Amino acid sequence: MKWEDVCQAFPEQWVLIEAVQAYTNEKSERILEEVTPLKKFSNSPDAMKAYQELHRENPNRELYVLHTNRKNPNIIEKKW
Determine the Cα–Cα distance for residues 6 and 64; give it in Å rounded to an integer: 13
The average pLDDT across 30-45 equals 96
pLDDT of 79 > 90? The answer is no
The average pLDDT across 48-75 equals 96
pLDDT band for position 61 (50/70/90)? Answer: very high
Sheet containing strand 29-41, edge to edge, reads 63-67, 14-24, 29-41, 75-76
Determine the Cα–Cα distance for residues 44 and 64; give it in Å rounded to an integer: 12
The average pLDDT across 60-69 equals 97
pLDDT band for position 35 (50/70/90)? Answer: very high
